[in-house]
Amino acid sequence: MEYKQRTVTCGQLRKSDVGNHVVLNGWVHRNRNHGGIHFINLRDRYGITQVVVGESVPPAVAEIAEKLHLEYCIAVEGIVQARPDSMINAEMVTGEIEVEVTNLQILSTCDPIPFMIDDESDAKEDTRLRYRYLDLRSKGMQKRIRLRHDFIRAIREFLSNRDFYEIETPTLIRSTPEGARDFVVPSRLYAGKFYALPQSPQLLKQILMVSGFDKYFQIARCYRDEDARGDRQLEFTQLDLEMSFVNRDDVLSLMEELFNDVFRKVMQIELPQHFRRLSWAEAMNTYGVDKPDLRYDLPLVDVVDIAKDSTFGTFKAVLEAGGVVKALRAPASTEVAFTRKYITALEDAAKVYGAKGLAWMKVGANNTLEGGVSKFFAGQETTLIKRMEASAGDMIVFVGDQWKKTCNSLGAVRTKLARDLGLIDPKVFAFCWIIDFPLFEFNEEKGHWEAAHHMFSMPQTQYLDSLESDPGSAIGDLYDLVLNGYEVASGSIRIHDVELQKRIFRICNIPDEVAEERFGFLLNAFRYGPPPHGGIAPGIDRMLMIMAGQTSIKEVIAFPKNTAAISPMDEAPSYIDQAQLDELHLCIKQPQQKD
């Protein structure tokens, strides 16, 4: 097809271009006909330019102008004109000019569109995903795809400048379940055998360390066949990073410098040079969660001593049973009144995490406490108010239970309070490190210990002798990076010793022969001079979601699946034909009714 190719983009023309003859290619964004004069907002990736089809154009051009509809793709030829002062649009970068059309060509037509192309589409998610090619035309999606490009580019630049190599690892690998389910790929050549898609390049990046590539990274596609819960995708992208001859603080410092640099370049935001570090125990104790949102403070406060001296039987029983009592100050607010109904809502949030109830009292004038369980704390008013740094109008809420349940329940109340009371500044990006994680947690269901993060993390030296006798106390050199209440990266210093690695496997109920079967190639590699090493893996999708102020990673992925793991645009997954099944030596069993 012959057509006039653009000489400028739709975001380019300024007053200094007036008088120039130009060609624009783009889409009809808006189209108004004012008494025979067509005002067309022509859009491309770079912006919007107003083009005007006046009354004096040749009839053939006027005829084409009559045919235009929204989202037609067209070529426009014309002369740049200054807009009359009254028509200048200060909100458009091209708002001082318009293009007086001399010729028009329709490059392609457009069926009636299912939703308007605007800043953001207001269509339902599945409609947006079915017509993703239209949805991606919205200003919001265009901006976010650009942010994604800029973000990843800045990461690559930073790391490449620091002598990191980006090394591509294979995605058809041996199935080595790391916790979640593997996606598998049937082999045509070997009946009954499968490749697996990587849950992460974890083992391969450790093997790259054994190979001597001491600074590795990769923007890596990862795959997990998990049940849809929350905002997950079957495939996602992480910055996978590993280094040799480093300790924990080397990794943490590098990440701080990386995100300082990237946020400066991409978001024009200065982050603190160092991110706050909290031990896992401290984070749990203070914020009730291992991924605290530090855009606001609202710490949980230990009130075991005060509860012990109170007359509140419930708390006293909790303490006798080895539990704890913690309190949280809900600051007086103009947003929310601390009504019975609201307190019940807070209690519901606490109960999700297992609390049996939420005790409360209000702070009155002159160091008094009122309502709720206040009567049981007679005589302790001053102590309690001082401890809680509370003032008149505040409310104090309490949970007494086992330690973890208490922390998590009150942590949930903290989160809800912050949202409801408007304590969150959406412009803040609050990073923090959580360190000193437990290595193991006991899986009640399976009846054995398992790795809290993964099995390749190095125990801290002082726990090496007691791993088997007291797994629950062992702390590892693990670290999470948390941003605004989301875990955005997870990493550790790794084990590089075959015997220690096997001990960890055994504690996680993986006997030596199973370990050799599943992880033999890693253990083999460790027999050939492995260096000490460690790494981290920030989640690209989730970070971008937060940076873009969104609540779903779908908003920062060009072609995501919906929550049912389907792509409404191409309707993947789909059936394949019998010949292909035969070639793959597969037959399909229809799913049986579950018991």
Judged by CB under 8 A, the chain residues 238 through 257 that form the site for a second copy are 244-247, 250
Residues contacting 241, CB < 8 A, separation 6+ = 159, 164, 205, 216, 217, 218, 491, 535, 536, 537, 538
Phi then psi for residue 242, to 5 deg, are -150, 145
155 lines the binding site for a second copy (CB under 8 A) = no
Cα gap 5→50, rounded to integer Å: 18
Question: Binder to a second copy among 33, 89, 109, 466 (CB under 8 A)?
Answer: 109
344 or 578, CB closer to a second copy?
A: 578
Residue listed under structure tokens 């309690």: 384
The CB-of-62 to a second copy minimum distance in angstroms stands at 21
Quote the DSSP letter at residue 91: T
| Interactions with a second copy, residue window 208-237 (CB under 8 A) | 208, 210-215, 221, 223, 225, 234-235, 237
Number of residues that bind a second copy (CB under 8 A): 124
137 forms part of the interface with a second copy (CB under 8 A): yes
Give the integer Cα–Cα distance in Å for 433 and 294. Answer: 11
Residues 492-521 close enough to bind a second copy by CB under 8 A: 496-497, 521
Count Cβ atoms within 10 A of the Cβ of residue 43 and give its class: 0-12 exposed, 13-18 middle, 19 or more buried: buried
Q: Does 140 bind a second copy (CB under 8 A)?
A: no
Q: Is 178 in the site for a second copy (CB under 8 A)?
A: no
Stretch that binds a second copy, among 203-211, 263-271, 324-332, 381-389 (CB under 8 A): 203-211
- Interaction between residue 3 and a second copy (CB under 8 A): yes
**Most distant CA pair in the chain: distance in Å?**
93
| 442 lies in the binding site for a second copy (CB under 8 A) | no
* Residue 79, beta-bridge partner list: 21, 100
What is each CA distance from 433 to 251, 278, 503, in whole angstroms? 11, 6, 28
Segment 285 to 314, residues that bind a second copy, using CB under 8 A: none
Please tell me whether residue 351 binds a second copy under the rule CB under 8 A: no
Here's the x/- map for a second copy, 536-565, by CB under 8 A: it reads as ---------------------xxxxx--xx
71 is a contact residue toward a second copy (CB under 8 A): yes
* Interacting residues of 313 by C-beta distance below 8 A, sequence separation 6+: none
Rounded CA gap, 336 and 422, in Å? 9
Provide the minimum distance between the beta carbon of 45 and a second copy in the complex, in angstroms, as a whole number: 5
Q: Are 242 and 231 within 8 A, CB to CB? A: no
Residue 143 lies near a second copy (rule: CB under 8 A): no
Report, in Å, the least distance between residue 181 CB and a second copy.
Answer: 7
Among 52, 53, 196, 363, binds a second copy (CB under 8 A): 196
188: number of Cβ within 10 Å: 12
Whether a cis peptide bond, with omega within 30° of 0, leads into 573 is yes
Q: Does 595 bind a second copy (CB under 8 A)?
A: no
Residue among 385 and 556 whose Cβ is closer to a second copy: 556
